[in-house]
Amino acid sequence: MEFKNSQTVKNLMSSFVGESGVYQRYSYYAKRANKDGFKYIEDIFNETALNELYHAKRFMFLINKELPGEKIMVDQADYPVFYGTTLENLKSAALGEYEEAYEIYPTFANTAREEGFKEVATYFDLISDVEKFHHKRYDTLAQEVERGYFHREGDCDWICLKCGHHHKGPNPPKVCPICDHAEAYFKPICPSGN
């Protein structure tokens, strides 16, 4: 099959547009997490946004390798637009990552294989694995925020993201005793479910 007329090239373009949008959304979500007092979650959104930017770059390069400078029409694609509280943003991100990891990219990989584009299929498979990790991380963070992110039932180790101070207890200190940063800069290091 000719790449230019394949479903695979449309899937790559749709993925490029989708990942570019996710990069932007996660950048906005990071700012909201900071505003809501979740520095660690802000960092996760920024880190994941960068991951998505590189996924978009890979998809663009795969298209450009075969069709440099071409315009690709994307049809029958929808892209989520959502912005809310940090908890709502985490849930939205978890859902989007789930769809990419378990539905969209596996389908795109199979199509690429069927059309004879094995390299493209491999990239869809590899990126799908990354999206599985993103889904799990966002889902876990959403559960933690719902339970009360800065309170645990038992003792937990908390680490200051600025100076590395460790604190043990059900809550981080309101202010780091070393660097004076607020509790928003503490990350929990404790067993899941605690």
The string of pLDDT tens digits covering residues 141-167 is 999 999 888 888 888 999 999 999 999
In this structure, what token pair is assigned to residue 144? 């933690």
DSSP one-letter code for 173: -
Domains of the chain by range and CATH? 3-147 (1.20.1260.10), 156-189 (2.20.28.10)
Task: Retrieve residue 59's tokens.
Answer: 């998809």
Q: E-assigned strands of the chain?
A: 156-160, 166-169, 186-189
pLDDT for position 74: 81
pLDDT in tens, 112-140: 999 999 999 999 999 999 999 999 999 99
Number of residues written out for the chain: 194
pLDDT value of position 153? 85
AA letter at 151: H
pLDDT at 191: 64
> What tens digit of pLDDT does each residue of 92-113 get?
999 999 999 999 999 999 999 9
- Inter-CA distances, 81 with 3, 84, 92, 162, 188, Å: 30, 10, 10, 32, 30
Sign of CA dihedral 71, 76, 82, 86: negative
Cβ atoms within 10 Å, residue 183: 18
Confidence of residue 194 (pLDDT cuts 50, 70, 90): very low
Sequence letter at residue 185:
Y
